[in-house]
């Protein structure tokens, strides 16, 4: 095992590092830039190995869980995107939070409330590989990067701790502290290739700091002050796209769209930062030229080919019920940008919605957006082509749920799982044809990668069933 504690070396151009930056190493520890000294806890202590008495996860190999209750079975053995055989069953999934697939047949589970335990499970046999204590529970970001699992700890009155453990053994590979001792809000983290991007906000002032961290070397490779502080980050090739709108936070999104947060219009724009030198590459704000309320930008997906987002604002709309029931509705556009330049590639106007912001998810070459019918409030998924924004198909069933509209699915096999009224539907992405594959299911949690998909089935005794996609 190698350990890199509090090391800082720059692998980026000098423009990333502020003039006069100095790192002082003394017998008492690292001071100044990393905000760490010997009076604080050792970095590795941020994620200790739990006591031997801590109970391990309840994970059962599929062959030992049989006979399968009827509500566990997904009938997807023919048609698009067959699931293949069940691999594991996580019994009583309700006692766990935030399951993640970390690659190399590894499932991460958290158990507990305030003081959680992170379990790493071998998908081949259900055995526990290792455990780590998460003192801040569900609030601690856990980001798989290559053969490492990076755990971010935000202790009170101490600098941010970034601990990288070996995915197979759980041993600490590297650990360092970055940033100020006191943070105004939780750090925002995202994987960028083989590195970790973190944004921290100090206890005072509007400015945030963007850090690029190499967990394999255990070092900060770049630092950049940015303003305003973003609430969502997406990696898109050579840039990282930042948005003021938080992901999966409906209430705050609606307040921003209504202008109730008092956020300056310029702060609602998307911004892209280079991962090479930290400079802002572009800024984008959607406009229609009417001088109305500014749009709020919600990131949907980003990669080296396109940044897909939805721009929305509240606008007067009479609706299908006439003047008596008219009220402001969400005016929304689905938009694709060139990640290198920020230039708009296309914009597709979406149906106005009286109730909530559009929900969307990308599946390969398509983006699926839940939209209301022109003559009602029920919603149907509509597919648009990422290349040109053209509508490809509209599903013939309603998906009128508060959450879980789109579930992780058999992406490489060309199919998607969608939550619908009456059951879980398997959709052929080529033409939009679909069929019900399960009637008793829960929308969350659900996980997927290139080899495995996990869906929560059952009701009172819910079970996370993991299926092999190979």
pLDDT digits (tens, 9 = 90+) for 98-152: 789 999 999 998 887 656 889 898 888 888 899 998 876 556 889 999 999 999 9
Of residues 144 and 361, more confidently modeled:
144
Reading the block at residue 432, the tokens are 């939009």
> Looking at residue 442, what is its pLDDT?
60
Given a contact cutoff of 8 angstroms between Cβ atoms, the answer to whether 380 and 394 are in contact is yes
Nearest-CA neighbor of 148 among 106, 211, 90? 106
- Gap between the Cα atoms of 189 and 168, Å rounded: 22
Given a contact cutoff of 8 angstroms between Cβ atoms, the answer to whether 298 and 332 are in contact is no
**3-class secondary-structure state, position 380:** strand
What average pLDDT score do residues 408-432 get? 73
Summarize pLDDT for 302-329 with one digit per residue, the tens.
Answer: 999 999 999 988 775 544 444 444 456 7
DSSP state of 12: S
Task: Write down the residue that tokens 């994620």 correspond to.
Answer: 47
What average pLDDT score do residues 76-86 get? 52
State the CB neighbour count (10 A cutoff) for residue 425. Answer: 21
pLDDT above 70 coverage of the chain, percent? 65
Nearest-CA neighbor of 196 among 170, 224, 215, 177? 215
- pLDDT class for 31, splitting at 50, 70, 90? very low
- pLDDT class for 419, splitting at 50, 70, 90? confident
Given a contact cutoff of 8 angstroms between Cβ atoms, the answer to whether 164 and 147 are in contact is no
Summarize pLDDT for 453-468 with one digit per residue, the tens.
Answer: 887 776 667 778 888 7
- pLDDT class for 45, splitting at 50, 70, 90? confident
Question: How many residues are there in the chain?
Answer: 470
- pLDDT class for 222, splitting at 50, 70, 90? confident
What average pLDDT score do residues 375-389 get? 83
Where in the chain are the domains?
A: 230-357
- pLDDT class for 250, splitting at 50, 70, 90? low
pLDDT of 30 strictly over 50: no
State the CB neighbour count (10 A cutoff) for residue 59. Answer: 23
> Looking at residue 292, what is its pLDDT?
74
pLDDT of 171 strictly over 80: yes
> Looking at residue 164, what is its pLDDT?
96
Task: Write down the residue that tokens 């017998």 correspond to.
Answer: 27
pLDDT of 336 strictly over 70: yes
Nearest-CA neighbor of 138 among 156, 119, 114? 114
| Element holding 30 (H helix, E strand) | strand 29-32
Reading the block at residue 408, the tokens are 């992780």
Of residues 459 and 277, more confidently modeled:
277
Of residues 458 and 53, more confidently modeled:
458
Note the pTM of the prediction, 2 decimals: 0.80
- Gap between the Cα atoms of 284 and 93, Å rounded: 41
Reading the block at residue 365, the tokens are 């070459």
* Alpha-helical segments (H) within 145-211: none
Chain centre distance of CA 467? 22
DSSP 381-445: EEEEETTT--EEEE-SS----SS-SEE---GGGTEEEEEETTEEEEEETTT--EEEEESSEEEEE
Three-state SS sequence of 235-259:
EECCEEEEECCCCCCHHHHHHHHCC
> Looking at residue 261, what is its pLDDT?
60
- pLDDT class for 271, splitting at 50, 70, 90? very high
> Looking at residue 65, what is its pLDDT?
55
Of 32-36, 113-117, 237-241, 393-397, the one with minimum mean pLDDT is 32-36
Chain centre distance of CA 224? 23
């Amino acid at each position: 095992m190698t350990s890199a504690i509090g090391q800082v070396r720059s692998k980026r151009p000098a423009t990333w590092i502020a003039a006069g930056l100095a790192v002082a190493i003394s017998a008492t520890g690292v001071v100044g830039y990393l905000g760490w000294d010997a009076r604080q806890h050792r970095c590795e202590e941020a994620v200790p190995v739990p006591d031997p008495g801590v109970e391990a996860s309840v994970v059962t190999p599929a062959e030992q869980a049989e006979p399968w209750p009827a509500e566990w079975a997904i009938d997807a053995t023919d048609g698009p995107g067959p699931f293949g055989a069940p691999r594991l069953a996580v019994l009583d999934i309700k006692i766990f939070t935030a399951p993640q697939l970390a690659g190399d047949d590894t499932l991460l589970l958290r158990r507990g409330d305030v003081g959680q335990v992170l379990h790493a499970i071998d998908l081949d046999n259900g055995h526990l590989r290792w455990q780590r204590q998460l003192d801040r529970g569900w609030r601690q970001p856990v980001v798989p990067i290559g053969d490492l699992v990076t755990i971010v700890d935000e202790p009170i009155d101490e600098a941010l701790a970034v601990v990288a453990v070996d995915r197979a053994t759980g041993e600490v590979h590297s650990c360092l502290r970055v940033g100020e001792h006191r943070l105004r809000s939780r750090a925002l983290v995202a994987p960028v290739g083989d590195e970790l991007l973190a944004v921290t906000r100090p206890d005072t002032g509007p400015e945030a700091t963007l850090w690029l961290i190499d967990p394999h070397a255990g070092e900060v490779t770049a630092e950049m002050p940015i303003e305003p502080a973003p609430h969502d980050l997406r990696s898109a090739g050579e840039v990282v796209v930042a948005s003021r709108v938080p992901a999966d936070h409906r209430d705050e999104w609606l307040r921003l769209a209504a202008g109730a947060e008092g956020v300056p219009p310029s702060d609602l724009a998307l911004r892209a930062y280079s991962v090479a030198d930290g400079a802002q590459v572009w800024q984008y704000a959607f406009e229609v030229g009417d001088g109305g309320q500014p749009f709020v930008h919600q990131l949907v997906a980003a990669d080296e080919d396109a940044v897909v987002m939805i721009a929305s604002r509240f606008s007067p709309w009479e609706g299908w019920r006439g003047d008596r029931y008219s009220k402001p509705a969400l005016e929304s556009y689905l938009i694709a940008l060139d990640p290198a330049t920020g230039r708009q590639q296309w914009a597709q106007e979406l149906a106005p919605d009286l109730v909530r912001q559009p929900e969307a998810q990308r599946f390969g070459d398509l983006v699926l957006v839940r939209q209301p019918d022109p003559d009602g409030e029920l919603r149907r998924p509509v597919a648009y082509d990422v290349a040109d924004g053209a509508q490809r198909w509209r599903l013939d069933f309603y998906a009128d749920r508060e959450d879980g509209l789109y579930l992780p699915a058999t992406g490489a096999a060309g199919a998607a799982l969608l939550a619908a009224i009456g059951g879980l539907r398997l959709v052929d992405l080529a033409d939009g044809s679909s069929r019900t594959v399960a009637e008793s299911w829960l929308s969350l949690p659900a996980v997927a990668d290139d080899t495995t998909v996990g869906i929560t089935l059952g009701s009172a005794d819910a079970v996370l069933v993991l299926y092999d996609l190979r």
